[in-house]
Amino acid sequence: MPKISDMKKQKVWLFIGRFQPWLHLGQIDALKQAMEKGVRHFLIGIGSSNKEFTRDNPFTYDERKKMIELSLKSMKWMSYQIFSIPDMDSDKAWKQYIFDTLPDFDFVITGNTRVKEIFKNSLKLRDKSPSDDKSFAIKIVWLKIRVPVKATFLRDQLALWRIEELKKALPLPLIPYFAKIKASERIMKLFHQDRRTPYLCVDVAFQDKQGNLILIERKNYPLGIALPWGFVEYGEDPKNAAVREVKEEVGAKIRIKRLIGVYGDPKRDPRAHNVSIVYEGEYISGAIKAGDDAKRVVRSKVESLKSKEALKKIKFCCDHGQIIKDFLSKS
């Protein structure tokens, strides 16, 4: 890792991404990390600039460029130039295109392992240099992910036009721009063309030997109290997924007793359109303790959950309060 004192002597750093969409708050934080090291001028390379109107690349190069300009409008203490970087036949050709097209740069800032490998041990011929310094080594600066945001998550939120969720992850000036270019309608159309379907989950309601309903407090977003749950893997029977998830979440071995219901409201999960199959399970064995996404295990007496007042006092994740209410009414 280069010394900060060396970094401050450099004038230009390169930051590359597909930025679909751009800029989210995680990427802005990446730029701030660089500025904390004394950087003030960036070359911003828009990767896959020749890809547009697909599920993973819904926006054009010009649209992404506009998003950058809107996002960085308030960051007047930094300067930048934007460049188009199309996909190439090979990593070698891609890197050479960047060397041939962009101005000189000394550092590549990235949190992407592929970009890191491509520029690792790279030498570049300096465009304008003294005769005794015709080439220089490109240095990689690895960024910490201090603000985790996934582009796939943002595209899901855009498709469903969840304004409040978008405001948590994107600079506010981008929201009216997305409305102007009808981003929600475009992404939803692309999802339909690619036969994009909701994600499939499983939830399990089961009791321990003392008759406690086993719940968890989630340690990852979305937060709150929930039943043990997770996603069904491709090629996996949902019942097997339910057994697996309970084992991973709370360490218990169960068997499936019956189906409680299917919950598929597109707004039930703030991350995406997740449809959940909910089962009742029967505890068999295993020490019940927190694992995977569980911050802690919550044991609740079934009788104490049957009143509306008791349920209202609990901060449930997603629609798990309603699921538990339905489960108890059928027990």
pLDDT of residue 10: 52
Whether residues 155 and 29 fall in one domain? yes
pLDDT beyond 80 at 47: yes
Q: Please, what is the average pLDDT of the chain?
A: 85
pLDDT tens-digit map of 78-132: 788 999 999 988 988 998 899 889 988 878 877 778 888 888 776 655 444 444 4
Whether residues 30 and 164 fall in one domain? yes
pLDDT of residue 6: 46
Whether residues 226 and 99 fall in one domain? no
Question: Which of 163, 190, 217 is the last residue before a domain boundary?
Answer: 190
Question: Which of 190, 220, 238 is the last residue before a domain boundary?
Answer: 190
pLDDT of residue 128: 46
Whether residues 103 and 186 fall in one domain? yes
Task: List the domain range (segments joined by +) for residue 234.
Answer: 199-330
Whether residues 75 and 159 fall in one domain? yes
Whether residues 227 and 186 fall in one domain? no
Whether residues 30 and 172 fall in one domain? yes
CA angle 207, 321, 223 (to 5 degrees): 95
Whether residues 20 and 132 fall in one domain? yes
pLDDT tens-digit map of 270-294: 888 999 999 999 999 999 999 877 8
pLDDT of residue 323: 95
Question: What's the token pair of residue 70?
Answer: 């809107």
Confidence of residue 237 (pLDDT cuts 50, 70, 90): very high
Whether residues 9 and 46 fall in one domain? yes
55-62: long-range contacts, CB 8 A cutoff, minimum separation 24: 55/155, 55/187, 55/190, 55/191, 55/193, 55/194, 55/196, 56/20, 57/18, 57/20, 58/20, 58/155, 58/183, 58/186, 58/187, 58/190, 59/20, 59/21, 59/183
Whether residues 317 and 181 fall in one domain? no
Q: Is the pTM of this model over 0.75?
A: no
Cα-flanking dihedrals φ and ψ of residue 266, to 5°?
A: -55, -20
Question: Which of 138, 172, 190 is the last residue before a domain boundary?
Answer: 190
What's the CATH code of the domain at 182? 3.40.50.620
What percentage of the chain exceeds 90 in pLDDT? 44
On whether the CB atoms of residues 158 and 51 are closer than 8 A, the answer is no
Whether residues 323 and 205 fall in one domain? yes
pLDDT tens-digit map of 56-75: 899 999 999 999 999 888 77
CA angle 43, 45, 51 (to 5 degrees): 165
Domain total in the chain = 2
What's the CATH code of the domain at 231? 3.90.79.10
Whether residues 94 and 210 fall in one domain? no
